[in-house]
Amino acid sequence: MQFTSSPTRRSPPTIGTLVLLSGLSALSLNLFLPSLPNMALHFQADYKVMQLSIALYLLVNAVLQILIGPIADKAGRRPVLLWGLSLFLLATLGCIYAPNAEVFLAFRMGQAVVVVGMVLSRAAVRDLYDQDQAASMIGYVTMGMAIVPMIGPAIGGFLEESFGWKANFWLPFGLGVLTLALTFADFGETSTKSGKTLVQQFREYPELLRSPRFWGYSLSSAFSSGAFFAYLGGAPFIGTELFGLTASELGIYFGAPAVGYFFGNFFSGRYSIRFGVNRMVLWGCWLNGIGVALSAIVFLAGYGSALSFFGFMTFVGVGNGMTIPNATSGALSVRPHLAATASGLSGAIMLGGGAGLSAFAGSLLTHDTGAMPLLWLMLATAVLAICAIFVVIRRERVLGL
């Protein structure tokens, strides 16, 4: 099988294709979360072992993003997408037919290759638009993407109770086949091949790593989303073990941040051109921190409940929906000729930190501790996000950089 970019495949992809590519990546992350307890029983494995399916997935995502960017800058967006989606389908079948937890986790890590959709859909937008307009377009693309994690856990809970946990892998397999076919038909190449070897591509990483602006945008995105990734690692335990939610109830509650994320991305799409990326990132980071702080105050006052815990996570979603598209556009605009490399590296920083926070959050929680260790961790990352974007804004005001 050989995927090539023929001369007839030069038209830019439609926004629907970009949304589907990003959405498939998001769906693969959280669709099966309501199934974790029954998957642990099926594989006769400890629940914490099955929780690794989140952290390991995020970790491999981070590593792959470092590799995908330079490869796509060298070979083009289209062939890398087609190969990545094909490998994702094979890995998903491996998850479905895995005989034990170890094999499942191996194929689960293989599923992370679907991150090509998220990395290269953003890179394609930056290929076609300037910084502020790219932020607006990324906001609209990820607003559509936000629908998927918003309804994903609820669908996962329904599929789990109706058909068993494997249904939560058959669904992304079917959508993966559809996405592969649509990408082949619609995703025209958006960049010119660099003509450089992979070694030469990787040697350009220092050009990004020496940029304080790149680090400021990347870290503001990483720390802001870190609150959400910590939530991913700890919220299933809080919902099922502390508040006694069923799989379907957890799926509904769990989507609260995605509701906020949808609106945050709408605000990005609507207002990024008017206000600029820096102010949108700053406002998003503040909303993220305020949501976590309010939840912590309610728990410290003794009034914590499933409704308050998950409800205040909506603010985290709004904040991330404003922060991530704008910070991503800012990071990609530091060196526009390295858009895919920057997309991959900034995404790796975000997801690498997310993997660690997700695993750490899961290890902190017990019936005795309650939800507070998770909330303190989320609040710490939210404060660091505010500090990171302040550095960018200060440099711009003082140095004009």
- Residues 324-345 have a mean pLDDT of 75
Residue 386 near residue 227 (C-beta atoms within 8 A)? no
Helical segments of 31-97, H only: 36-42, 47-75, 77-96
Is the pLDDT at 386 greater than 90? The verdict is yes
- Predicted confidence at residue 283, as pLDDT, reads 94
What confidence tier does 383 reach under pLDDT thresholds 50, 70, 90?
Answer: very high
pLDDT for position 270: 80
pLDDT band at 339 (very low <50, low <70, confident <90, very high): low
Separation CA 293–CA 345 (nearest Å): 30
CA dist., res. 164 & res. 238, Å (int): 22
Tens digit of pLDDT for each residue in 175-197? 999 989 888 887 777 666 655 66
- Residue 252 above 50 pLDDT? yes
User: Does the structure show a pLDDT above 50 at 2?
Assistant: no
Prediction pTM value? 0.69
Predicted local distance difference test score (pLDDT) of residue 62: 77
Domain 15-399 homologous superfamily, CATH: MFS general substrate transporter like domains (1.20.1250.20)
The Cα 40–Cα 340 span in angstroms is: 37
- Over residues 270-325, the pLDDT tens digits come to 887 788 888 999 999 999 999 999 999 999 988 888 888 999 999 998 998 888 88
CB-based contacts of 199: which residues, under 8 Å, 6+ apart?
none
HSE of 274, CA atoms in CB hemisphere, 13 A: 5
Q: Can you state the angle between helices 167-186 and 77-96, rounded to 10 degrees?
A: 160
Of how many residues is the chain composed?
Answer: 401
What single DSSP character describes residue 242?
A: I
* Helix (H) or strand (E) run with residue 76 in it: none
Tell whether the model's pLDDT for residue 8 goes beyond 70: no
Do 340 and 282 contact (CB within 8 A), yes or no? no
Cβ atoms of 111 and 91 closer than 8 Å: yes
Lowest mean pLDDT among 215-224, 256-265, 311-320, 338-347: 338-347
Average of pLDDT values for 16-32? 79
